[in-house]
């Protein structure tokens, strides 16, 4: 058997595996099931942090290119059931934080 076709198949498989690996987002886990993801959405960089009862999403768009939120600087606080939601937005940064209080926690 000639080695040329075997080497070609190996190179093809290695290339596809490298492409699939680079297409996946960067995932990191903490000891307490927390998760941090970094990825890009067009020209913007996105960071998502999830943990039990906590969610945060930060979108950074250089010079405001590619942003999808409304213009100007603004801030919004509201409640979504047992959760508190805070949104801060400016020209380049959109920051959404959601904190949910679990039923088994008691405030001191």
For 4-19, what is each residue's pLDDT tens digit?
A: 676 667 666 666 665 5
Contacts of 85 (CB under 8 A, 6+ apart): 76, 77, 78, 79, 96, 97, 98
Spatial contact of 85 and 55, defined as CB atoms under 8 Å apart = no
Over range 74-103, report the average pLDDT: 91
**pTM score over 0.75:** no
Confidence at 74, pLDDT banded by 50, 70, 90:
very high
The pLDDT score that the predictor gives to residue 33 is 72
> What are the start-end ranges of the H helices in the chain?
3-23
Using 50, 70 and 90 to split pLDDT, how confident is the model at 64?
Answer: confident
What percent of the chain is modeled with pLDDT above 70?
A: 65
Pairwise CA distance, residues 89 & 27, whole Å: 25
Q: Is the dihedral of CA 105, 96, 44, 24 positive or negative?
A: positive
Containing H/E element for 76? strand 74-80
Cα 53 to Cα 13, 70, 81: the distances in Å are 41, 27, 13
Gap between the Cα atoms of 24 and 33, Å rounded: 19
* 27 has pLDDT over 60: no
Q: Give the pLDDT band of residue 25 (cuts 50, 70, 90).
A: low
């Amino acid at each position: 058997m000639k080695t040329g076709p075997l080497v070609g198949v190996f190179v093809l498989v290695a290339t596809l595996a490298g492409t699939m690996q680079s297409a996946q987002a960067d995932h990191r886990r903490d000891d307490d099931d927390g998760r941090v993801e970094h990825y890009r959405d067009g020209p913007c960089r996105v960071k998502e942090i999830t943990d039990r009862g906590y969610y945060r999403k930060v979108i950074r768009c250089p010079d405001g290119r590619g942003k999808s939120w409304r213009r100007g600087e603004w801030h919004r606080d509201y409640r979504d059931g047992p959760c508190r939601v805070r949104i801060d937005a400016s020209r380049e940064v959109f920051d959404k934080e959601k904190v949910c209080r679990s039923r088994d926690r008691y405030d001191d």
